[in-house]
Amino acid sequence: MKFRTRMILVYSAFVLSAAVLLGGFFYYSSVKRSVNQELRNLEDMSRQLTQQYEESIKAMKNVSHYVLSDVDALEAIRKLSVFPKDADYVSLYFNEAARVVRNILNTDYFISNFYRILFYNKNGVVIATTHEERKMNAGMNLDALPWKDQLDSVGYGQFAVIGPHEDDWGEKKQNVFSVVKEIQGNNLGYIEVQRTEDSLRTLFAISNPEIKVLLFDEKGNLLFSNERYEGDLGYGDFLAQGDTTARRFRNSVTGNDEFLAGNVSAETGAAILVAERYDTVQSDLRYIFMSTLLLAASFIGVAVLYIVAASNHLARPVQELADLMERTKLTNITENVELKTSSNEIELLRQSYENMLKRLDSAILKEKRTSMIQLQAQFDALQAQVNPHFIYNILNVISSRGVLNDDDVICEICDGLASMLRYSTNTKERYATVEKEADYLEAYIRLLKCRYEHKLEYQITIQPEIKDCILPKLVLQQLVENSISHGYENGYETMRLEITGWQDDEGWYIRIRDNGDGFLEEALQYVRDEIMKLRMQISSIQRNVELEIGGMGNANSFARLYLLYSEQLIYRAGNYEQGAEVFFGVRKSSTMEGES
């Protein structure tokens, strides 16, 4: 899969996940906000309707207060309660008292704002506001009222609110609701204030036809609703809880979920409920869902377009760099890497690729130089062989003469020398293990002891952990030979050599010491200069290393070790308290083990 396609898919998946999460959160919060707003609206509506209802009831109560606060009217009511209306001997007093009460009831304010206002007592006296269209039924009396029991159950001097009912006093059928108060005193009578049911319907009118408005009395009986209902409406549980806070409610009768809000009138004790079916709110929730879906789709569409554009912009320099890599060959490896479009990250990648090409070119040149040095080393080996078959034949002749003369030493010398020649002239292997090099070195020192006898002492100590590490062939023998040849020019009774190999956490090391004259300062400086010169020649990409044929000193040993281990090589030549010392080692990160 291409980088651009993968980038588009990854970021598109991220955008889709983000859109789902954000859309879900937006939908959830919007639904919650919408539901809470609807509940608040119902709560405000119930509170407002309660307030309007209380103001209407207060206005009806104020009529009774107004009438009873008039001294003449109150005196007339007392007179009317003493004698029956058909007593001849008090007709004059009766008519005068009735006139006073009728005058105060027939004020313009009362007639305009209320359907009917009545005074009546148990003596059968009934006085009401006069209106052409609201004529009285003369045959009605107090005991025939259907809500007489409700009136009697109200406390003395308290108001009774009678729910919508048919007007019992009028000739014309008219539904009204009433507020009745029993006048305090000895059978003084009652004052009833009526308003039409239509005025109550107007009072509770709302714009949303899906919302029900219900008025319940203190006992939970339905007094009024904006629609016609029969039987149990299922709100008894809600009212019984005593908590009319707006909330979601499962109607036990209909089985429907509804939003309910209510308020209890402090003036009358009646409860006003506002109810709305939950499924009517779902249309708003569907609108929220579609809006959320549209917003999420728009967000995803815009984001995907941006991702595609951004991916094309970001992938263009990558594709250019890939095409450039495909065109790179050994013939143009040194050319500069140029990109038409780039960014900081791509520029770093371009620089890294360009640096890699430079290192590759340097490695190729280094390999060429190494090959030439190896050819030169092979030429030196061939030059040193001087027809090894001829030398082997001569050694066999000498060894045979030693056998004839019964001289075992000559035979051992010839055998050791032949073994060394076979090892040193074997050009198939360029490198050897430390163990093989140590064995060859010991064979060489044993030959030297044939010459120096007890005067030469040596000790070879190699830890087993480094026996499989790799060295250029003959490197140890070269250093020991150099020590024997140049370290004892002043003559010594004992020539002592110590060859030690060990390993620690950072790498492995070999040290060669003698007890000879040590390095002269001029010779030591010469060796260091030669080593530095060789290091620069080998590291340079423009020059090849030129070694003198047969040159086998410190410089030669360093050059071959440096070609094998490069900058990981540690090499020092110097003096210590008893003589000369050559030390070299390899850091563990570059240690090579096994056979070449």
Give the pLDDT confidence of 28-83 residue by residue, as tens digits.
Answer: 888 888 888 888 999 999 999 999 999 999 999 999 999 999 999 999 998 888 76
Output 104-107 pairs: Cβ under 8 A, ≥24 positions apart.
Answer: 104/67, 104/70, 104/72, 104/73, 105/67, 105/129, 106/130
Does residue 543 carry a pLDDT above 50? no
Q: What are phi and psi of 98, to 5 degrees?
A: -65, -40
- Mean pLDDT confidence for 292-299: 87
Task: Give the Cα separation of 387 and 425 in Å (integer).
Answer: 10
Residue 195, beta-bridge partner list:
177
Q: Does 265 score more than 50 pLDDT?
A: yes
How much is the pLDDT for 588? 80
Residue reference for tokens 């050009």: 427
- Mean residue pLDDT of the chain comes to 81
pLDDT attached to residue 370? 74
What is the model's pLDDT at position 596?
Answer: 32
pLDDT for residue 435 is more than 80: yes
Length of the chain (residues): 596
C-alpha torsion sign, points 416, 420, 422, 423: positive
Q: How far apart are alpha carbons 319 and 232 in whole angstroms?
A: 78
Residues of the chain with CATH 3.30.450.20: 70-200, 201-281
Identify the weakest region by mean pLDDT among 108-117, 340-349, 526-535: 340-349
Is pLDDT of 84 > 70?
Answer: no
Task: Report how far Cα 171 is from the mean position of its chain's Cα atoms.
Answer: 80
Name the band, by pLDDT with cuts 50, 70 and 90, for residue 308. Answer: confident
Give the 3-state secondary structure of 51-79. Answer: HHHHHHHHHHHHHHHHHHHCHHHHHHHHH
Q: How confident is the model at residue 343 (pLDDT cuts 50, 70, 90)?
A: low
Decide which of 449 and 424 is more confident.
Answer: 449
CATH 3.30.565.10 in the chain is located at: 429-587
Residue 546 confidence (pLDDT): 47
**pTM for the complete prediction?**
0.51
Q: What is the pLDDT of residue 551?
A: 42
Q: Which residue has the higher pLDDT, 400 or 470?
A: 470
Lowest mean pLDDT, pick from 299-308, 402-411, 510-519: 402-411
Instruction: List pLDDT tens digits, range 468-522.
Output: 999 998 889 889 988 888 888 877 788 999 999 999 999 999 999 999 888 888 8
Average pLDDT over residues 282-310: 84
Distance, CA of 37 to CA of 29 (rounded, Å): 12
Q: Which residue has the higher pLDDT, 330 or 201?
A: 201
Residue 95 has phi, psi (to 5 degrees) of: -65, -40
- Of 543, 547, 567, 565, the C-alpha closest to 556 is 547
**Residue 594 scores a pLDDT above 60:** no
136-164 per-position pLDDT tens digit: 776 666 667 777 777 777 777 788 888 88
Q: Which of 531-535, 539-543, 582-586 has the lowest mean pLDDT?
A: 539-543
Indicate if the pLDDT at residue 248 is higher than 90. no
Q: What is the pLDDT of residue 25?
A: 87
Mean pLDDT over 326-355 rounds to: 71
Q: Is residue 361 very low, low, confident or very high in pLDDT (cuts 50, 70, 90)?
A: confident
pLDDT in tens, 168-221: 888 888 889 999 998 888 888 899 999 999 998 888 888 888 888 999 888 888
Structure tokens at 279: 């499924």
> Are the beta carbons of 64 and 191 closer than 8 angstroms?
yes
Name residue 593's amino acid: E
Q: Which CATH number fits domain 70-200: 2.60.120.10, 3.50.50.60, 3.30.450.20, 3.40.50.300?
A: 3.30.450.20
Which residues are CB-contacts of 453 (< 8 A; sequence separation ≥ 6)? none
- Class of the 429-587 domain? alpha beta
Instruction: Say how far apart CA 466 and CA 450 lie, in whole Å.
Output: 30
Q: What percent of the chain has pLDDT over 70?
A: 83
**For the domain bounded by 201-281, which CATH number is listed?**
3.30.450.20
